[in-house]
Chain A
Amino acid sequence: MEHIISLMVENKFGVLSRVAGLFSGRGFNIDSLSVAPTVDPSVSMMTIVTHGDDRIIEQITKQLNKVIDVIKVVDLTEHRHVDRETALVKVHTRAEDRAEALRISDIFRARVIDSSPTTYTIEVTGDTEKVEAMINLLRPLGLKELVRTGRIAIGREEFRAGVQQEKRKIEQAT
């Protein structure tokens, strides 16, 4: 099953490779990974989408907790959360397709952020289902390039209290 794991990590060099190395070294999957600093510049948030059975996910969260530069690990899948990703899609547009491309982009409340005589670059944000639905509709026009951010996720507000838990407590629960 797919899991979205949110990590609070030290904002130091080498942290990304510690986390990525853990996944490759132990044969865990990374479906997507995104990382950026937070309001506190000494801290970054990482969102990792992974999959595996319960035993593997348990190992993943425990192993992540064990990484010294990881401050907190939350498996958001176990909680109410929202997740989003952004895709930038460059589609080929022959003259007769340009209106269609705009229509599709409208349906998904996406925006054209760049255009040339033969292409549109469309930015879409949403959950994975929405992003993929749009990509699939655009596909027949001819995808020239596709770039996706991977997912970022955040707990819903009721859950914020839970996020504050000490890393240790989460460790014990798992």
Chain B
Amino acid sequence: MLTGAEIFLESLKREGVKTVFGLPGGVVLKIFDVLYSEKELEFILVRHEQAAIHMAEGYARATGRAGVALVTSGPGATNTVTGLVNAWMDSCPIVVITGQVSTSMIGNDAFQEADIVGISRSCTKYNFLVKDVADLARTIKEAFYIATTGRPGPVLVDLPKDVSMAKADFVYPESVYIRGYNPTYKGNRWQIKQAAEAILKAKKPILYIGGGVINSDAADEVRELAELTQVPVTMTLMGLGGFPGTHPLSLGMLGMHGAYATNMAVHNCDLLIAVGSRFDDRVTGKIDAFVPNAKIIHVDIDPTSIRKNIHVDIPIVGDVKHVLKDLNELLRGRGNGDLKDARKPWLDQIDEWKREHPLAYKSSDKMIKPQQVIEKVSELTLGKAIVATDVGQHQMWTAQFYKFLQPRTFLNSGGLGTMGYGFPAAIGAQKAFPDQLVVAIVGDGSFQMNLQELSTAAAYKLPVKVVILNNRHHGMVRQWQQSFYGGRYSASRLDHSPDFVKLAEAYGLKGLRASRPDEVEPVLREAFEDRQPVIVDMIVDPYENCYPMVPAGAAINEMILGDPSPEQPQPSRESDKESALPA
């Protein structure tokens, strides 16, 4: 007979878990007591439970395996909620175990009791309250099964204190069967045939890929499809890395901050092949004006994604990898040479759009432009680093200017837009790949939402490189206020941030700063060559804006391409004097 705590940890090992992120507390002490002498599982002690969840997410997204977090009841559990919603929105497989007060106390408003099963119901793929130690092993098995199959997502297991103390025989189930849960993997043959015909017939097709391509490990299949049929590929924020950013057929990211040519190509296409993407409003802009002349093929493992936001002509429910394999089989040998010629006018048109308005920025020899930093990071890492971002302008610039080559190299909060995600996610990925270069590109605002994890990076010697695009603002908020609220900068200025170099030093880490454009490269080189965590404080132009931009509610071909011309009222830069460079 084993105790619940032992059964729980044995079960994790059976699932191949090596790393657990979290923080202890009263009701999970029994588990931590067993962990004390545990050799095969490494526990990473965080400084805030929200970060533990983001670490588990970063770990999961970088590896494709479930990330695991363990926290206590009450406040420990409620601190996980942002991370759970984030993982839910971005279909990220994590298993979160929360301690709970003893079963006899549940419902009595006991000390540190929170109804986390109720609270997390709408932001988990499934959640469990384990009431009987005899159910524990099976529950863990089911939790991992649900989190990692079908459309992946977060699963929460609430484990009462008495259950972790009670004893039972340990029998780990070989397999699970859940009668209400049967994800569809194989696509319908007939629909796939229809899709193949439509692709061959189309004159102006676009492949629009999302996070589903990453989750189903289908980058190779996407590439084959694109090359076979000469279809240009655009990616959502979550899809970046699903197709090499340097490929001649790559159009980069589409949507609110998509490149001009990309959004024009999407707007004017006659066939949109949506693969593992979900027509998010940040992608489509005004939905009624989205792809007005196109037929739509939509491949997704989640039937609810199909026709949720937009009418689809050829829906295919299935796993992206399976479906594309079948589709490519039908298309192989069907006129690659002819297609090249047939597609030429379309690809030429796109090239013309690219020439008209390339993704660009005005460089300066006085101030560091944030885009310049991203370009340098991309250049120095050869697109081989794992890059995490927070949320805001720096995130969009990373999406625009970093050339992602491989799936699972871009960690980012797409659906929820969670500031504070990037740094802990990078730590999680670094834990999974200790020898790889992991760079967190963060904003000075977002970073301060989880910078307590500098301790964690230091404690476990996880050499994450944090590159702060320090613009002394909530830059994205400031940009909107400049564009749509007459430059009334309400609560978007960030004064009194710490001196990030000194902060790094206070944590026993290395801090570097660049304030002039010519310092960017040497400072980044120095950071990337170091084997410890480094914070790089990049003092960038505080008024740089992220373009193109599709205003909320506009169609995606109605982009603002740059700052308004000088006749129009400009925000006063004088007011920025006090927030100039830190000494």
Contact = CB atoms under 8 A, between A and B. Distances in A.
Interface in B300-320: 302-304, 306-308, 317
Contacts of B181: 68
Given A68-B125, A174-B303, A10 B308 contact: no
Contacts of B569: none
Contacts of B1: none
Contact of B122 (A21, A58, A62, A71): A21
User: Which of under 10, 10 to 19, 20 to 34, or 35 or more describes the interface residues of B?
Assistant: 20 to 34
A67 B121 contact: no
B303 A71 contact: no
A18 B124 CA distance: 11
Contact of B180 (A10, A25, A62, A172): A10
B476 to A, nearest CB: 27
B307 A58 contact: yes
B184 A172 contact: yes
Nearest to B187: A172
Contact of A171 (B125, B178, B303): B303
Contacts of B317: 171-172
A174 B126 CA distance: 23
Interface residues of A, number: 25
B117 interface: yes
Nearest to A67: B180
Interface in B150-193: 178-182, 184, 188
A83 interface: no
Contacts of A14: 117, 121, 129
A18 B303 contact: no
B146 A68 contact: yes
B303 A66 contact: yes
B304 A66 contact: yes
Interface string A48-70: 00000001001100110111111
Contacts of A65: 303
A17 interface: yes
A62 B121 contact: no
Contact of A68 (B117, B118, B178): B178
A160 interface: no
A130 interface: no
A168 B150 CA distance: 13
Nearest to B122: A25
Contacts of A9: 180
A10 to B, nearest CB: 7
B254 to A, nearest CB: 24
A168 B307 contact: no
Given A17-B118, A21-B121, A68 B180 contact: yes
Contacts of A18: 121
A25 B304 CA distance: 15
Nearest to B182: A168
Contact of B182 (A62, A69, A167): A167
B121 A17 contact: yes
Contacts of A71: 179-180
A164 to B, nearest CB: 14
Contacts of B179: 71
A69 B180 contact: yes
A50 to B, nearest CB: 16
Contacts of B184: 168, 171-172
Nearest to A72: B180
A165 B291 CA distance: 36
Contacts of B146: 68
A2 B440 CA distance: 51
Contacts of A167: 180, 182
B317 to A, nearest CB: 6
Contacts of B129: 14
A56 to B, nearest CB: 10
A25 B308 CA distance: 15
A55 B121 CA distance: 25
A68 B142 CA distance: 11
Nearest to A13: B129
A25 to B, nearest CB: 5
A132 B117 CA distance: 39
Contacts of B306: 62
Contacts of B308: 59
Contacts of A68: 125-126, 146, 178, 180-181
Interface string B254-290: 0000000000000000000000000000000000000
A25 B182 CA distance: 24
Nearest to A58: B307
A21 B182 CA distance: 22
A168 B303 CA distance: 10
B209 to A, nearest CB: 22
B70 to A, nearest CB: 22
Nearest to A172: B317
Most buried by B among A58, A63, A167, A172: A172
Contacts of A21: 121-122
Contacts of B122: 21, 25
Interface in B177-234: 178-182, 184, 188
A71 B182 CA distance: 10
Contact of B304 (A62, A70, A166, A168): A62
Contacts of B178: 68
B156 to A, nearest CB: 12
A174 B302 CA distance: 12
Contacts of A10: 180
B144 to A, nearest CB: 14
A145 B146 CA distance: 46
Interface string A15-56: 001100100010000000000000000000000000000010
A172 B186 CA distance: 11
B323 to A, nearest CB: 13
Given A62-B303, A166-B182, 14 more contacts: A17-B118, A18-B121, A21-B122, A59-B307, A59-B308, A62-B306, A66-B302, A66-B304, A68-B181, A71-B180, A167-B182, A168-B182, A171-B303, A174-B303
23 contacts: A14-B117, A14-B121, A14-B129, A55-B307, A59-B304, A59-B307, A59-B308, A63-B304, A66-B304, A67-B180, A68-B125, A68-B126, A68-B146, A68-B178, A68-B180, A70-B180, A71-B179, A167-B180, A171-B184, A171-B303, A171-B317, A172-B317, A174-B303
Interface of A: 9-10, 14, 17-18, 21, 25, 55, 58-59, 62-63, 65-71, 166-168, 171-172, 174
Q: Which 6 A-B pairs have the closest CB atoms?
A: A62-B304, A71-B180, A68-B181, A62-B303, A68-B126, A25-B122
